[in-house]
């Protein structure tokens, strides 16, 4: 077994797919699938702001937005999580507008920000798969692959667990399958 494969197998054990409500997660940080304004929206973004309270929007106003594929963090306020990492996934425009790289970048930027903050546990929603219309299977494959590569490349810093929190049973199933497929390839 190569050293890289070994690192990837170990990293795989630190990724969990769960079905649930991201706003109730007690990870150190949760990721918000925001829009470029960072001034609130529908879906998971609206739910996070409702749970965190108005102080979250007040801090977001100081951030001057966020480009697609990047990430910026705030406090978690009334959430159980200490931090919210706001990232912006791509709007699906058919797949030839760099969507895959932008989605991978949203995951990577969020992971980098979590490490920078010192978070040991991090929870993601299925970025871009709601109103942004990214096909669920393709998004899940990019999500699990990007998280796995990132975790396997960490050296000193540690993220103990990355949770992919899926709102629906269907989304959880799709992510579990993508994770299993990745695991099979490491056998």
CB of 36 to ligand ADP, least distance (A): 11
Q: Is 124 helix (H, G, I), strand (E, B) or coil?
A: strand
Among 181, 163, 183, 185, smallest CA distance to 172 is for: 163
Classify 72 as helix, strand or coil: strand
Cβ closer to ligand ADP: 22 or 66? 22
Q: Which residues are catalytic?
A: 45
How far is 14 from 121, CA to CA, in rounded Å?
10
Q: Is 89 in the site for ligand ADP (CB under 6 A)?
A: yes
CA angle 185, 137, 163 (to 5 degrees): 75
Residues 109 and 86: beta-carbon distance below 8 Å: no
Kindly state the number of chain residues that form the binding site for ligand ADP, as judged by CB under 6 A: 20
> What minimum distance in Å lies between the beta carbon of 157 and ligand ADP?
26
User: Smallest distance, Å, CB 32 to ligand ADP?
Assistant: 9
Residue 132 C-beta: closest distance to ligand ADP, Å: 3
**107 lies in the binding site for ligand ADP (CB under 6 A):** no
Q: Segment contacting ligand ADP (CB under 6 A): 43-51, 54-62, 73-81, 155-163?
A: 43-51
Phi-psi region at 27: left, alpha or beta (left = phi > 0; alpha = psi -120 to 50): beta
How far apart, in whole angstroms, are the C-alpha atoms of residue 61 and residue 86? 12
Q: Is position 171 an interface residue for ligand ADP (rule: CB under 6 A)?
A: yes
Any contact of residue 77 with ligand ADP (CB under 6 A)?
Answer: no
Partners of 73 in the β-ladder: 85
Q: Which of 105, 109, 128, 146 binds ligand ADP (CB under 6 A)?
A: 128
Report the C-alpha gap between 32 and 73 in whole angstroms.
Answer: 9
Nearest residue (CB) to ligand ADP, 44 versus 159: 44
Contact footprint for ligand ADP (CB under 6 A): 21-23, 33, 43-45, 47, 89, 125-132, 165, 167, 171
């Amino acid at each position: 077994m190569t050293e890289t494969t070994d690192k990837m197998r170990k990293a795989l054990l630190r990724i969990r797919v769960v079905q649930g409500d991201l706003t109730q997660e007690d990870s150190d940080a949760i990721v918000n699938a925001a829009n470029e304004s960072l001034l609130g929206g529908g879906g998971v973004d609206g739910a996070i702001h409702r749970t965190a309270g108005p102080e979250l929007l007040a801090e977001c106003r100081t951030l001057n937005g966020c480009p697609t594929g990047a990430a910026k963090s705030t406090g978690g306020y009334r959430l159980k999580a200490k931090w919210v990492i706001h990232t912006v996934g791509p709007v699906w425009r058919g797949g030839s507008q760099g969507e895959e790289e932008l989605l991978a970048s949203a995951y990577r930027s969020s992971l980098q920000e979590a490490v920078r903050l010192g978070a040991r546990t991090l929870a993601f929603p299925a970025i871009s798969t709601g109103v942004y219309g990214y096909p669920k299977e393709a998004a899940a494959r990019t999500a699990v692959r990007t998280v796995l590569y990132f975790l396997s490349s960490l050296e000193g810093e540690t993220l103990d667990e990355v949770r992919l929190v899926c709102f629906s049973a269907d989304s959880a199933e799709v992510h579990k399958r993508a994770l299993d497929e990745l695991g099979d390839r490491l056998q």
